[in-house]
Chains A and B, each alone.
With several copies, the nearest count.
Chain A
Amino acid sequence: MSESRPRLIREDGLRVDGRKPEDLRPIRMEVEVLKNANGSALVEYGGTKVIAAVYGPRETPKAVQLPDRAVLRVRYHMAPFSTSEHKSPAPTRREIELSKVIREALEAVVFTDQFPRASIDVFIEVLQADGGTRTAGLTAASLALADAGIPMRDLVAGVAVGKVDGVIVLDINELEDEYGEADMPLGYAAGIGEIVLLQLNGVLTPEEFKKAVELGKRGAERIYAQMKETLHKKYLAVLES
């Protein structure tokens, strides 16, 4: 944090990658990218590349079944080559926590009560990590669930808001995450206006926090629109074929 901390907001007020504080990185979305999975999606937020697959509703071992709803089983996992340094394949404490946080975000929107005793399995693989992997992963998971035809109350868009050099900025990249003052991942069901994931890793005043949530919601709404369009295109393509 000390020596070579880079400057994150340039003199012209722009960020290290030339974005304005409220800009998203270029975002790419694609669904049905895998053959075996019931649903799948590839999502890129700038250099962050994530792929998600959904299997289910399917049979699940008795020991984890619930009588009145489906269980969600979610794994957030990083490929060994996704980070600057080679990552060991064993799940880290961070991966275990993020799997839980993403699962809980999805619990809030999936109509699990329609599939008692079944499981809906969501596998998220981070292929390249450049900031915002959990939120890109949540977006990908939501798209993959839609692609699998799992009924949901709403789609969920994920985006990380940060504070860098004192400025509240949208969709932080790895450099901004590492050297910034705060990283606040948000999962937002924009159609119904509900927050399904929220963490704060950093320090914010109450005013900054309010501003960050506001900026995050607006960013998520834009991502949400792109998600809708992506799914719409796919269904059109299906209808037209």
Chain B
Amino acid sequence: MSITPQREPIMPKLRAENIIKMLKKGERVDNRGLYDYRSISVSIGIIGKAEGSALVKLGGTQVIAGVKAELGSPYEDRPNEGVLQVHAEFVPLASPSFEPGPPNEDAIEVARVIDRSLREPRAIELSKLIVQPGRLAWVIYDDVYVIDHDGNILDAGMIASMIALAVTKLPKLEISGESVKINREVKETPLPLNTLVTTVTMGVLGDILVVDPSLEEESVLDTFISISVDEKGRIVGLQKKGLKSITPKTLDSAVEIALKKGEQVLSFIRKVISSPQEYMKW
């Protein structure tokens, strides 16, 4: 059952009103322009045991994506493809409002939006991840681990996932007759990718759109739209969230902004994965 949540964290009324007032003038409390992302920093490979990993800091938000590869069964209706599983955990370390326990609806939504954004444009070429058709396939786990929540977890998680997948190397398979075993000592084959993807999340305040809302902004904005774009400039996913509606006109603007900002984010991702060694510090 989905229940109207308590608004967290509770913000002083004056502060909230000030944020709104500024947004209406096109200004933000952290001096960004309405369509500016906060600074993004990336650390690659921080989890050596994972097949791929990335820590993304988007302003104060920190998300780790860790990619693990296991052997498993392909889905019955996809006997010739590998399997992608995206999960998100909002661990209580990351925010006073996160509780221990199984993922709540917010974490599930984040994971499913990332999953669909990867799946629909076939960002990963799953057909190359089959080992024995109908019987054995690579199962790729992308785990999105939020460790500090300062707003816009989705974009941070999407960027971290995309980078972690792009730097993933599959372990070697040792095949002898029927038996197939994973040798994690040798990791060589990169995950086959067709395109990079990102999401662009905007807060909605009437007809004003606010890219990459911070936690403070999230708590005064009621409504959000996240649009997923790929390298071909296509829309590969969309999710409206929050308590209020959006007009068709504002939706049009949101698409326009998402395509433009998405391209910038994708360039950034491309830059990171093309010189990964420069991002291997934590």
Contact = CB atoms under 8 A, between A and B. Distances in A.
Interface of A: 1-2, 34-37, 40, 47, 49, 51-53, 55, 58, 64, 66, 69-75, 77, 79-86, 89-90, 93-94, 96-97, 99-104, 107-109, 112, 121, 123, 125, 127-130, 182, 184, 189, 192-206, 209-210, 213, 217
Given A81-B143, A108-B245, A201-B116, A66 B93 contact: no
A127 B64 contact: yes
A108 B204 CA distance: 13
Contacts of B243: 104, 107-108
B11 to A, nearest CB: 14
Nearest to A92: B108
Contacts of A37: 93, 148
A210 B246 CA distance: 15
Question: What 4 pairs across the A-B complex have the smallest Cβ distances?
Answer: A81-B66, A200-B238, A194-B245, A99-B2
A2 B95 contact: no
Chain B interface helix/strand/loop/mixed: mixed
With a 10 A CB-CB cut-off, give which of A86, A97, A198 has the most chain B CB atoms: A86
Contact of B108 (A86, A96, A192, A205): A96
Given A81-B66, A82-B49, A217-B248, A71 B116 contact: no
A234 B82 CA distance: 48
Contacts of A107: 4, 243-244
A3 B241 CA distance: 36
A47 B47 CA distance: 9
A36 B112 contact: no
A1 B127 CA distance: 10
Chain A binding surface, main DSSP class: mixed
A97 B49 contact: no
Nearest to B94: A36
B60 to A, nearest CB: 5
Interface residues of B, number: 73
Nearest to B91: A125
Nearest to A85: B70
A201 B120 contact: yes
Given A49-B47, A121-B92, A206-B233, 6 more contacts: A73-B4, A82-B47, A100-B106, A103-B3, A129-B49, A201-B237
Contact of B247 (A52, A55, A193, A205): A193
A75 B92 contact: yes
20 contacts: A51-B93, A53-B93, A75-B1, A79-B143, A80-B66, A80-B68, A81-B141, A84-B184, A86-B70, A86-B143, A99-B105, A104-B242, A194-B245, A196-B240, A199-B239, A200-B228, A200-B235, A201-B120, A206-B255, A210-B255
B20 interface: no
A177 to B, nearest CB: 13
Interface string B97-127: 0001011011011011000100011000001
Contacts of A210: 252, 255
A203 B236 contact: yes
A69 B3 CA distance: 13
Given A74-B1, A93-B112, A203-B120, A35 B148 contact: yes
Given A89-B102, A129-B49, A198 B251 contact: yes
A36 B96 contact: yes
B208 interface: no
A32 to B, nearest CB: 11
B40 interface: no
Given A81-B66, A93-B108, A204 B235 contact: yes
A236 to B, nearest CB: 23
A115 to B, nearest CB: 12
A86 B2 contact: no
Contacts of B259: 206
Contacts of B81: 1
A140 to B, nearest CB: 11
